[in-house]
Amino acid sequence: MSETLSASRCTADDTARAPRAHGTRRTLFRHATGRANELAWGLTESGVPDVRLGRRDTLLRSGTRFEALYVIRAGSCKLVVTNPDGEEHIVAFCLPGEVIGLEALGSGVHATTAYALEALTCWRIAAERVDMLLRHNGAFARAVVDVLSLDVGRGLRALTMLGTMTAAQRLASFLLDLAERYQQLGFSGSAFELRMTRTEIGDHLGLSTETVSRTLSRLRTDGLVSVSGRSVRLRDRTALGQILLHGA
């Protein structure tokens, strides 16, 4: 695998590598996703990959009954919560290997809508199968509990910082998180394509489109990153980490 990463190459690669569980990290927003490795279980027996979607297609819709879990094989998607006013907020971007739909296990109803950001391939684990495995397979149940528990922990860290972080901190957090996730997938952690627009990043981080753009420009003139459209190269990850910890 080459060190540089073009959008097409990443998208074309359809194997979700089993990522290792990771320790405490200081970045945001891995929410409601979770990793597939512990769940490989439910998949090995289920056989064929299932769902194929195109850009802007809907994988599942908030408010609908829980019918299946999905594990991303290739592509990426965004998880959106719509509030009563109709405003949309992006609560997570999901990459290959991540599990979608776990948040619906408790209520039986999906809390988020998942839109494909590009061509998307997913495994599907039907609800009945999830139920059955949870009841009769202690190891599977434990795996699900672990994934959920890790998600809650990540959410705690996210909440910790969201109220108080500056725009630069949020972007540093966002970029470092993406870098680490790509790296765990076997791609370069220092150069990658963003799959989402500036507006979507802003929706995710609680910033306006303009602030996202301005802050990225500032990081670029400061020499911390190279940005050209959706292509990003992290030039000084240590400095980004410093921004994350100690502010702009």
Partner DNA sequence: CGTTCTTTTGACGATCATCAAGTCCCGTGG
Partner DNA sequence: CCACGGGACTTGATGATCGTCAAAAGAACG
Question: Using CB under 7 A as the criterion, which residues of the chain lie in contact with DNA when the complex forms?
Answer: 166-168, 197-199, 206-217, 227, 229-230, 248
Q: Which long-range contacts (CB under 8 A, 24 or more apart) does 139-142 make?
A: 139/41, 140/39, 140/41, 140/42
By CB under 8 A, name the one of 43, 127, 161, 227 that touches its own copies: 161
User: To the nearest whole angstrom, how small is the minimum distance from the Cβ of residue 166 to DNA?
Assistant: 3
Using the rule CB under 8 A, give the single segment among 12-20, 28-36, 187-195, 213-221 that binds its own copies: 28-36
Could you tell which of DNA, its own copies, none binds residue 230, using a CB distance below 5 to 8 A set by kind?
DNA
Residue 114 lies near its own copies (rule: CB under 8 A): no
Residue 242 lies near its own copies (rule: CB under 8 A): no
User: To the nearest whole angstrom, how small is the minimum distance from the Cβ of residue 201 to its own copies?
Assistant: 12
Q: Which two tokens stand for residue 211?
A: 């602030």
A 10 A CB-CB count for 138 gives: 10
Judge whether 76 and 95 are in contact, CB under 8 Å.
yes
Judge whether 74 and 96 are in contact, CB under 8 Å.
yes
Please state, in angstroms and rounded to a whole number, the distance separating the CA atoms of residues 2 and 23: 26
Residue 239 lies near its own copies (rule: CB under 8 A): no
Burial class of residue 106 in the structure, from the number of CB atoms within 10 Å of its CB (0-12 exposed, 13-18 middle, 19+ buried): exposed
Could you tell which of DNA, its own copies, none binds residue 150, using a CB distance below 5 to 8 A set by kind?
its own copies
One character per residue 129-158, x = contact with its own copies (rule: CB under 8 A): -----xxx-xx-xx-xxxxxxxxxx-xxxx
Judge whether 122 and 42 are in contact, CB under 8 Å.
no
Using the rule CB under 8 A, give the single segment among 18-26, 118-126, 188-196, 218-226 that binds its own copies: 18-26
Where do we find the tokens 């690669």?
13
Angstrom distances, CA of residue 4 to CA of 1, 16, 188, 193: 9, 18, 6, 10
Residue 238 lies near its own copies (rule: CB under 8 A): no
- List residues near its own copies by CB under 8 A: 23-24, 26, 29, 31-32, 79, 81, 83-85, 89, 91-92, 102-107, 109, 111-112, 134-136, 138-139, 141-142, 144-153, 155-164, 170, 205-207, 245-246
